[in-house]
Amino acid sequence: MLNTTNNRFWETKSLKELSKEEWEMLCDGCGLCCLHRLQGEEEDAPILTTRVVCRCYDLQNGGCSNYPERFKLVEECTQLTIDRAAEFDWLPPTCAYRLRYHNQPLPSWHPLNSGIQSSVKPYSVFSLSPVLETENIDLEDFLIS
């Protein structure tokens, strides 16, 4: 959702101070949090990212194909809330919630800064040749980091 006011809340407010609407607007829609990740058994094993996107992702138009029902449809889908902000380091480094949690500015291509939703595209799942999750897919074949 683009900001239509002159209120640059994302620069002046902390995550805790955001209204529900502002919290939602902070998401740039990159879809990188919808990619499957793998982690070894060891406690400090790194989290590896794949280019396999959740089965509910809409690869045609971008975004979740059923946002209101996402937690019912996909058990692993994680709700990002302020209470869980300390766990945000699994998110991509460009994620707006992670950046603001660490008091970092949003990039110029973030739709709130650019005023254009499509400016996120080169930084989104679409830049990674994403593959939709299927039943027998081997995630290890699609590791990107």
Q: Which parts of this chain interact with ligand SF4 (CB under 6 A)?
A: 27-34, 54, 56-57, 64, 70, 73-74, 77, 80, 91-92, 95-97
C-beta of 44: minimal distance to ligand SF4 in Å? 23
Q: In terms of CB distance, is 62 or 143 closer to ligand SF4? A: 62
Q: Identify the DSSP state of 9.
A: H
Q: In terms of CB distance, is 42 or 142 closer to ligand SF4? A: 142
Least Cα distance to 30 among 83, 76, 97 occurs for: 97
Least Cα distance to 107 among 41, 36, 20, 30 occurs for: 30
Residue 82, burial from CB neighbour count under 10 angstroms (0-12, 13-18, 19+): middle
Q: In terms of CB distance, is 18 or 30 closer to ligand SF4? A: 30
- What backbone torsions phi and psi does residue 62 show, to the nearest 5 degrees? 85, 155
Place of tokens 């660490």: 102
Q: In terms of CB distance, is 70 or 143 closer to ligand SF4? A: 70
C-beta of 84: minimal distance to ligand SF4 in Å? 12
C-beta of 67: minimal distance to ligand SF4 in Å? 6
> 90 by DSSP, 3-state: which?
helix
